[in-house]
Amino acid sequence: MSQESQFLAALRSLAGHPAARGLADDAAVLALGGTNLVITHDMLVEGVHFLPGDPPGDIAWKLLAVNLSDLAAKGARPVGVLMGYSLRGEPAWDAAFVAGLEQALSAFDAPLLGGDTVSIPAQAPRTLALTALGTADGPVPSRSGARPGDQLWVSGTVGDAGAGLRILLGELQGGAALVERYRTPTPQLEAGHRLAPLVGAMMDVSDGLLIDAARLGGASGAAVEIDLGDVPLSDAFLSALGDDPPARLAAATAGDDYELLFAGSPEQEGTILALSQELGLPFTRIGSFAEGDGLTLLDRGVPLPLPERLGWEHGLSPVESAPGAP
């Protein structure tokens, strides 16, 4: 067990309140005054979750987006955010950050309600924290509700942000759309809200499709099978990386997608596809749940060995080591 896993296990032993959902969900869910208050808190650290050269305004957007993505996965609508900000004596950087924050708050209709600023040494990495609050009047999907026989779905396209990061690191050539997916992800708030009553389980894909799907199966006590050939890829991704199994595996393990991963019974398939049409957002069937446990990988029907790394696990991820858990 890694040091971080040990730490998380120790914290879980303190988190017996039902609203904590065992620190194993995307967010805490607290029944309050006839509604469900959904609360999430994620931090971004310079050099870990964003690159020192990323535009400050984009970092503000990402800070908001990664937290709102957790609300989206629980079907919640944002009611406000609190921000923790580290000052390092760089007024131009700070001003550009605030300008981006204003755009993002407005785009997602999430008012700034409070927070804290702290001064940090000039050589310390910038550390940004955000707490997002949302409400969900309807059911709040967990990660544990998938049942054998359910279909596994993902929204949008996968792998774009990972490709964008590789472009920024000089490891890959590709279009600006991929970099944009890395720097300014879109939380699927409307889709999450509309899907919540239709799904058995839902989470956002932040650490990589394979690792997050394994978590969904693990929490639900079911086996998961994914066919890489069905994983939805964007044209920009296909141009940059092609369509062979290594490219598909890269997409499925890259992380930072902020798409929705959800389980639906076969009876819901028509409703889910109709919603996809209505929203103009692809929902793609990429696999299924079965009795048992573990993750099985196929490539167009042919079994494929699991890669050594399913995604990001130990706080080294572009974002979030253990979603929803401290």
- Contact (CB, 8 A) for 81 and 61: no
Shortest distance (Å) from residue 49 CB to a second copy: 7
- Measured from the CB atom, is 45 or 273 closer to a second copy? 45
Nearer to a second copy, 39 or 228 (CB): 39
Q: Note the Cα 219 to chain centre separation in Å.
A: 16
- If the CB atoms of residues 127 and 265 are measured against a second copy, the closer one turns out to be 127
For residue 182, the minimal CB distance to a second copy (Å) is 18
Tell me the closest approach of the beta carbon of residue 127 to a second copy, in angstroms.
5
C-beta separation of 100 from 60 below 8 A: yes
Shortest distance in whole angstroms from residue 47 CB to a second copy:
7
- Least spacing, CB of residue 95 vs a second copy, in Å: 7
Specify the residue for token string 């942000």. Answer: 161
Tell me the C-alpha distance between 263 and 278, whole Å.
19
291 DSSP assignment: S
For tokens 């858990």, the residue is 325
Q: Which is nearer to a second copy, 138 or 242 (CB)?
A: 138
| Residue 82 vs 304, nearer CB to a second copy | 82
List, in sequence order, the alpha helices (H) in the chain: 3-14, 56-73, 91-108, 160-168, 176-183, 189-195, 209-220, 235-241, 245-253, 269-279
Backbone torsions φ then ψ of 67, nearest 5 degrees = -75, -40
Q: Which tokens belong to 231?
A: 């994983």
